[in-house]
Structure 1
């Protein structure tokens, strides 16, 4: 038995590879983090090495104090995670105040992704607003989502309506809609704060000219959310290439979907 044999590590590795196979992770693009459960930590603890130096997060996240996270590495390629997990991902712990992190396993000679503070800020928000159920944060360079940020108004409502009306299951999968963050330099505090503000309301945020940022309680749900959003964006891009919309799912249709599937749509999007 080794760290890579633990179920949560194997599922993490699979999700990295699934994203690569979708074409969402060119070079070292994209990243994935997972907040370990107590059961995960106990299963993994015997494989932890000598803790390394502490690093400042840049903000205090007290609700994440003493939590552990799996993260992809800085400059690492997601296509290589399945080939050598220990070299490309690592487990980090936060200190007793939720202000610093350190690596306890993996990433020899390296550190987590430069967007690790952005992930942690959003883990803090999603943990709070979901009562602790959300554990996964995933960022990918979903091609059609990025394309739409060049042609649609960069508003939550415009993107939500385009996605809801392009695939029938979308109102069921993300009934609150999606948030949109204007272009910002990645990895910085500004994009972290802007994204965490959106994640107060939404499971997913679109980063203009950059990609998609989603959350979920587990790997399947988070990946499924990203996949659904990208598939709907793909449909919309194809519709535009065919000359534009001639008929669509109406607001009354959206309400009917919500009624039959027992979800509550965000009224601001109707």
Structure 2
């Protein structure tokens, strides 16, 4: 196999794992970092921080690969996904499964460096990541299942850092799951017409004409959960100012999706990154400036 062929295969695997689109990594990473900073009072163990960050990158990639494998017969009929490597015939399904296995095994090898509690939780993470892509065939709430899967980084981070999962961790897990439900519904609004044609289920379809109102209610619940987390952790005004700033991104996202324009809905999804970053910056400042 010559160098050009090897380079092409690696390039296709890179695209298959969506390493060229880091937004997915970021919105999965922020809740994990929130959890680590809360669990460690702003001073996470370096090994734990490294393993969690690398694990997020690897498992997000694995999730993308298995998603495209599951949707290999559907993606060619969706405008946004028809050029993905498997849909375009550039990567064979069997190759995708091998890539998925390699990514999962690499992530698991890293988790073995952590405590037993985290290792046990990692099996749940793999199950959620592997099963999520098939949910859109059986439930109207695949975005909710994605939230459950994406949020799993929160209890894992708490377990890795403090070897326990306190109440505040589960509140953060719920907030993260609801946040993923919201931004993935915005993402699903982009594909709503194509999904209706080919029979794919989504919350964008389930919520119908009330999707904006339902997401607004969910966003309010998320903010209430974040306030309660601050109270339980005895956080200062710095954290609450951050929440006010973060809430402005929710308001902006509502403005973007108001007319249900595809490009604006996708822009609202991308804007979710700034919500996550803002809260993380607030937590860093909270513990860095605390006397």
Query: Is TM more than 0.5 here?
Result: no
Which of the five TM-score ranges fits, normalised by the shorter chain? 0.3 to 0.5
TM-score by length of 1: 0.33
Q: From the two aligned structures, give the one with the greater strand fraction.
A: 1
